[in-house]
Amino acid sequence: EIQIASLLKSSELFPIPQGLKLSYGTAGFRGDAKLLESTVYRVGILSALRSLKLGSATIGLMITASHNKVSDNGIKVSDPSGGMLSQEWEPFADQIANASSPEELVSLIREFVKKEGITIGDNKKGAEVWLGRDTRPSGESLLRAAEIGVGSILGSVAIDIGILTTPQLHWMVRAKNKGLKATEYDYFENLSTSFRCLIDLIPISGNNKFEISKLLVDGANGVGGQKIEELRGSLSNLDLEIRNTGRDGGVLNEGVGADFVQKEKVVPLGFGLKDVGMRCASLDGDADRLVYFYIPSDSTSDVKVELLDGDKILSLFALFIKEQLNILDDDKEGKQSRLGVVQTAYANGASTDYLKQLGLDVVFAKTGVKHLHEKAAEFDIGIYFEANGHGTILFKESFLSWLVTKQKDLTATGHGGSEEHKAVSRLVAVSNLINQAVGDALSGVLLVEVILQHIGWSIQKWNELYKDLPSRQIQVEVPDRTAVVTTSEETEALKPLGIQDAINSEIKKYQRGRAFIRPSGTEDVVRVYAEASTQEAADTLAHSVAQLVK
Ligand code: 16G
Ligand code: ZN
């Protein structure tokens, strides 16, 4: 009961703002930073309980609002695996974030703790929560609120890990719980070592040796640009020029960053005609999304970009992984490996065609990283990407140990220099390089760069893998977005009744037409996506579907 008294006392420090209604949503709580202290404090409590429930495993708390404006902030929880908070706990997160008084909060916690069989206080070891934040000015005070939340559960410790990218925090939490070295230094060390390893495995092809050209990076004026700058010193074979680091007066996510470039298809601030033809990469505000782009040589002053989005990054990764697996599959005793890719309904139809034509298993998941991740984890190697640039490559533990054993066996039997040994070594290095917890723009950049060097491709050549179908996205404001209910892959609407038939008859009017609607998981709108063989057709299709939603 001492526990209850201290909870009541600390929660009085964080009254909930009038009329605030929050939902954990697709990726944690988000909103105007000024309104979020009580929420963050309460998520602090939740994360301490989560740690206790899981035998005092380390939990991560990330304070960020990603690509949203600088005055917003948000909070999300990393489970011990480095993945997103288990969806089973989301309803509890919603309940406590919206509890209207300290008394209600305490009674919700009491009830939950009892239901989950969590014991507070008499554990040998208490809860441990690692806290990270992006560069937003509101981050520091919100972090204090989270610390107080964690600290209000007896015997819990909150550790401030500092300013980090979202994927860095997830990586560190995962490493910590696996008993591995888990500092930021270790994260960088891991990236540079595995990158080096992949560079060393590039085939030497005499006369057409690939020339390494400079990569221009747009850091979104956020944490990603700063971290990639820190990493640069330990990378060889990569020439980077980093812009929009936030140190030169630019505002976070304003006219810059992966979300802006992907949605608007124009150059970010700080880039222009002087960069025509150059290979460029854009990160989002917390560096968990990555897109590439270049300014075509026939560009005029409005500087439209040629965009290489998440789908195209996925295709490049799939191509490379498949090539390595093919080398292994030639081996008689080789085991049948299963490579699969996961996309969402937003994936450009041309990318899906391309991947299928490569002979890959393509599956679809609902929007939001947690859904894609879950499906990708079913394959031996599962690659997932959202068109917006969030994605990674997952290696199943059992498959990875098979690879590692194979690598050792080949060395032991004198096949250390064989093509097969190289292919196995590349796959192992990729599994170390690419973040196994969540999509990570930093590791993504390194993998794209080394693959391009490996196959000797320019960004233009890479872009030619397939040509995107023209598409259009719009949003419709509605009184109640929950009126729209979709199938699990979001490709068809089940409710309102009859709307899908109406959408289908619109789609039929267009060559290569495809369209869907879905309720946003982060905003109060219904989103409409359409694609067709021409831009005009995609636009009209999107607008006529939007009419049906209104
Ligand atoms: C969140 C998701 C992102 C998704 C977006 C969709 C994570 C880490 N982030 O930002 O993957 O694309 O929501 O937003 O899961 P929407 O539901 O508003 O369209
Ligand atoms: Zn992000």
The pLDDT of residue 2: 60
492 is in an annotated binding site: no
Placement of tokens 């789908």 in the chain: 311
CA of 292 to the centre of ligand 1 (A): 19
The pLDDT of residue 202: 95
Q: What secondary structure does DSSP assign to 22-36, as a single string?
A: ---TTTSEEEEGGG-
Number of Cβ within a 10 Å radius of residue 393: 29
Q: What letter does residue 70 receive in the DSSP assignment?
A: T
Residue 316 phi, psi dihedral angles, 5° rounding: -65, -45
Nearest to 274 by CA among 299, 311, 245, 239: 299
**Tokens for 16?**
């909930």
- Residue 77 CA, chain-centre distance (Å), reads 14
**Ligand that lies nearest to the alpha carbon of residue 285, given by its number in the listed order:** 2
- Strand ranges (DSSP E) for 206-269? 215-218, 240-243
Substitution candidate for ligand 1 out of 384, 385, 390 with most atoms within 8 A of CB = 390
**Ligand that lies nearest to the alpha carbon of residue 475, given by its number in the listed order:** 1
CATH of 311-463, one of 3.40.50, 3.40.120, 2.40.128, 1.25.40: 3.40.120
Three-state secondary-structure class, residue 95: helix
Alpha helices, DSSP H, located in 233-348: 258-264, 310-329
CA of 249 to the centre of ligand 1 (A): 28
**What order do you get walking across the sheet with 215-218 strand by strand?**
240-243, 215-218, 279-283, 290-294, 306-308
The mean pLDDT values, 10 residues at a time, for the chain of 550 residues are 81 92 88 96 98 97 97 97 96 96 95 93 85 98 98 95 98 98 98 97 70 91 97 93 94 98 95 95 98 92 91 98 87 66 98 96 95 96 98 97 95 94 98 98 98 95 97 93 94 95 97 96 91 97 96
423 is in an annotated binding site: no
Torsion angle of C-alpha atoms 94, 97, 102, 106, degrees rounded to 10: 40
CA of 166 to the centre of ligand 2 (A): 7
Q: How far apart are CA 335 and CA 325, in angstroms?
A: 10
**Ligand that lies nearest to the alpha carbon of residue 25, given by its number in the listed order:** 1
Domain made up of 2-163: CATH architecture: 3-Layer(aba) Sandwich (3.40)
- Strand ranges (DSSP E) for 289-372? 290-294, 306-308, 339-343, 361-364
The pLDDT of residue 5: 82
Q: How far apart are CA 17 and CA 32, in angstroms?
A: 11
Query: Crossing angle for the helix pair 441-455 and 184-200, nearest 10 degrees?
Result: 10
According to CATH, the topology of domain 207-307 is Alpha-D-Glucose-1,6-Bisphosphate; Chain A, domain 3 (3.40.120)
**Tokens for 90?**
């989301």
- List residues near ligand 1 (CB under 6 A): 26-27, 367-369, 386, 388, 390, 520-523, 527
Atom index in ligand 1 nearest the CA of residue 390 equals 11
Give how far Cα 197 sits from Cα of 423, 473, 491, Å. 12, 41, 41
Q: How far apart are CA 136 and CA 152, in angstroms?
A: 25
**Catalytic residue from among 11, 47, 66, 351:** 66
- Residue 111 CA, chain-centre distance (Å), reads 34
Three-state secondary-structure class, residue 134: coil
**Tokens for 517?**
């609607």
The pLDDT of residue 56: 96
Q: What is the pTM of this model?
A: 0.96
Q: How far apart are CA 121 and CA 212, in angstroms?
A: 57
Atom index in ligand 1 nearest the CA of residue 288 equals 8
How big, in percent rounded to 5, are the helix, strand and coil portions of the chain? Answer: 45, 20, 40
- Strand ranges (DSSP E) for 29-86? 29-32, 58-63, 72-78
Backbone torsion region of residue 30, taken as left when φ is above 0, otherwise alpha when ψ lies between -120 and 50, otherwise beta: beta
524 is in an annotated binding site: no
Substitution candidate for ligand 1 out of 76, 262, 367 with most atoms within 8 A of CB = 367
Atom index in ligand 1 nearest the CA of residue 388 equals 12
Neighbours of ion ligand 2 (CB under 5 A): 66, 284, 286, 288
The pLDDT of residue 209: 53
Placement of tokens 């956020």 in the chain: 222
- Residue 228 CA, chain-centre distance (Å), reads 17
According to CATH, the topology of domain 471-549 is TATA-Binding Protein (3.30.310)
- Cβ atoms of residues 213 and 279 within 8 Å: yes
Break the chain into its structural domains and give their ranges: 2-163, 207-307, 311-463, 471-549
Q: Is 66 a catalytic residue?
A: yes
387 is in an annotated binding site: yes
481 is in an annotated binding site: no
Atom index in ligand 1 nearest the CA of residue 527 equals 19
Q: Which helix (H) or strand (E) segment is 393 a member of?
A: strand 391-395
Torsion angle of C-alpha atoms 225, 227, 229, 230, degrees rounded to 10: 170
Query: Crossing angle for the helix pair 90-98 and 102-116, nearest 10 degrees?
Result: 160
Q: Which helix (H) or strand (E) segment is 246 a member of?
A: none
Instruction: Note if the bond before 496 is cis, omega within 30 degrees.
Output: yes
CA of 25 to the centre of ligand 1 (A): 9
Alpha helices, DSSP H, located in 178-277: 184-200, 223-232, 258-264
**One fold for both 2-163 and 207-307?**
yes
